[in-house]
Amino acid sequence: MSRLIARRLVEAVLALAAMAVIMFFLLHLDHASPARAMLGKEWTPQKGAALTVALGLDRPVPVQFVLWFKSLVSVSGLGEIIRYQLPPTLEIFALGSALGYGITVWLARIQIRYAGSVVDAALTVTLSLLGAVPGFVIGLVLLYVLAIHWLVLPATAFTPSGAAFPSWVFHHILPIVALAVTVVGPWTRQLRGSMAEEAAAEYVRTARAKGAWESRIISHHIFKNALLPFITLVGLSMPTMINTVIALDLIFGVRGAGAALLGSLYALFFARATTVALVLAAVTVLGSMAADIAYCLIDPRIEYR
């Protein structure tokens, strides 16, 4: 297990380094003057030339990359993002994922228990529709219905510092539920399909012939063996989930990484914007690595070469 974790960490560092290089050269595909964009109406040839020198944009490309990378991982900028902007986004990401997982397992077990029934068909149609709707649309619908039309929940997730935990939970219900609803559709369909394949296996028929309870068969046999394909889907869903959380940050006024990214782009602080993007990419890579580790925890017979 330790060798697997070490290997995945090395691969994560290499992946993030490659992302940094790609981001740098993508920024240089635009031949417009960054100094002119930053100065706006105050731009003059003299001010533009001075800012270009100050930013190091007159130097060779390799030197510019070194300067850009230093500003990218500067202790002050990176520490501020990790300490202040990242936690609110991670809270919604973690709680929404956990809620989505719980709902997924519950719905998939209901569908398997009543396979082929009207309940199974209705859930299949509903989950297919949910899987086709983007996360930001779900967030906007929940915002309009529950916060604006019915006035049941607050429209913003902002809570003052030092607010009580119940108040924090009350203000974060909408973004957490929106993320959970976004992932429930594809996750449940995948888990239900895997459980249906396991339910037709020989060992399940043998367990039923021995008189084992149906709930025990589903929990201890079908569900456990169907988890591996489901974990694969969860790992592949990480980038989409991060993008959804960024959109939900903006919709519900969360002062998280999404707001920091958009604010940096509006202010033309490209170094800070790319730092936020790399931090979110690191969360995605670590989430995929956690999915790989979960494989070994669920089935120790699996080896990575």
- What percent of the chain is modeled with pLDDT above 90? 31
Q: Is the pLDDT of residue 303 over 80?
A: no
Residue 50 shares a structural domain with residue 177 = no
Q: Is residue 84 part of a domain?
A: no
**Half-sphere exposure of 42 toward its Cβ, with a 13 Å CA cutoff?**
6
**Residue 191 predicted with pLDDT over 90:** yes
3-state SS class at 157: coil
In a domain, 259, yes or no: yes
Residues 153 and 265 in one domain: yes
Average pLDDT, the chain: 83
Least confident of 37-46, 200-209, 251-260: 37-46
Is 77 among the domain residues?
Answer: no
pLDDT at 273 exceeding the cut of 90: no
CA distance 161 to 235: 33
CA torsion sign, 131 to 133 to 134 to 140?
negative
Q: Which long-range contacts (CB under 8 A, 24 or more apart) does 9-12 make?
A: 9/289, 12/282, 12/285, 12/286, 12/289
Q: Which residue segment(s) compose the domain that 148 sits in?
A: 89-298
Same domain for 286 and 198, yes or no, is yes
154 and 6, same domain (yes or no) = no
Q: How many CB atoms lie within 10 A of CB 126?
A: 14
Does 270 map to a domain? yes
Specify whether 105 is located in the same domain as 16.
no
Last residue of a domain, one of 14, 37, 72: 72
pLDDT value, residue 272? 74
Are 289 and 166 in a shared domain? yes
**pTM for this one?**
0.84
Per-residue pLDDT at 139: 95
Q: What is the DSSP letter of 57?
A: T
115 belongs to a structural domain: yes
Provide the Cα torsion 184, 190, 193, 194; round to 10°: -120
Lowest mean pLDDT among 156-165, 181-190, 194-203, 233-242: 156-165
- Judge whether 101 lies within some domain: yes
Angle among Cα 97, 103, 105 to the nearest 5 degrees reads: 100
Q: Range with the lowest mean pLDDT among 268-272, 283-287, 301-305?
A: 301-305
Alpha-carbon span 40 to 196, nearest angstrom? 60
- Range in 6-20, 39-53, 159-173, 217-231 the model is least confident about: 39-53
Predicted confidence (pLDDT) at residue 234 exceeds the cutoff of 60: yes
* Domain count for the chain: 2
> Same structural domain for residues 168 and 107?
yes
Q: What tokens does 288 get?
A: 């995929």
Task: Give yes or no: residues 142 and 51 share one domain.
Answer: no
Pair (166, 109) in one structural domain: yes
Most confident of 135-144, 222-231, 277-286: 135-144
Q: 42: which DSSP letter?
A: G
One-letter-per-residue 3-state SS of 120-146: HHHHHHHHHHHHCCCHHHHHHHHHHHH
What are 9-58's pLDDT values in tens digits? 888 888 888 887 887 777 666 555 666 666 667 778 888 788 777 767 77
Instruction: Note the pLDDT of residue 268.
Output: 66
Among 15, 46, 72, identify where a domain stops.
72
Specify whether 34 is located in the same domain as 120. Answer: no
**Does residue 41 or residue 230 have the better pLDDT?**
230
Domain-ending residue, one of 72, 98, 128: 72
pLDDT tens digits, 71-128: 666 645 677 788 888 899 999 999 999 999 999 999 999 999 888 899 999 999 999 9
**70 pLDDT more than 80:** no
Burial of 255 (0-12, 13-18, 19+ CB in 10 A): middle
Residue 82 lies in a domain: no
- From residue 158, give the alpha-carbon distance in Å to each of 13, 123, 131, 162, 258: 33, 34, 28, 12, 14
Identify whether residues 107 and 41 lie together within a single domain. no
Average pLDDT over residues 270-292: 81
Q: Across residues 160-165, what is the average pLDDT?
A: 74
Q: Is residue 137 part of a domain?
A: yes
The CATH number given to whatever domain includes residue 121 is 1.10.3720.10
- The helix/strand count (H/E) of the chain reads as 15, 0
Q: What percent of the chain has pLDDT over 70?
A: 87
**C-beta of residue 16 within 8 angstroms of C-beta of residue 278:** yes
Q: Are residues 137 and 28 in the same domain?
A: no
